Amino acid sequence: MIRRKQVATGVTVTFALEDTVAGPVSVVGDFNGWTPGAHVLRRRSNGTRSVAVTLPAGQPARFRYLAEGGHWFDDPQADAHEEQGSLLLL
């Protein structure tokens, strides 16, 4: 699930996944220099993992998820999917 909230500094995007993947999962994208581990999804008591990132409004954001063992995957709820990964239009 991807939730967006307008804030004074841009758009806070909450990336959330069902907690079905073993090991750590991070959201990696052009907003964090594609750096694994910069935004790790934390386990929540409701059976999900999530992390919130504030991004500039009006700019697209490309991202993918990275799980343990180098497993990359896209978010089916993204606005679009490209060769470089999922795309959010903010």
> What are the structural domain ranges in the chain?
2-88
32 three-class SS: helix
pLDDT at 79: 95
Q: What is the pTM of this model?
A: 0.92
CA angle, residues 45, 51, 53, in degrees to nearest 5: 155
> Look-up: residue for tokens 């998820």?
65
pLDDT at 85: 87
pLDDT at 81: 93
| Fold adopted by 2-88 | Immunoglobulin-like (2.60.40)
pLDDT at 90: 78
Closest CA to 24 of 74, 73, 69: 69
Q: Can you tell me the distance from the alpha carbon of 45 to that of 37, in angstroms, rounded to the nearest whole number?
A: 21
Q: Which two tokens stand for residue 52?
A: 């919130």
Average pLDDT, 10 consecutive residues per value, the chain (90 residues): 94 94 93 96 95 94 95 94 87
What are the residues facing 22 on neighbouring strands? Answer: none
> Look-up: residue for tokens 């750590």?
24
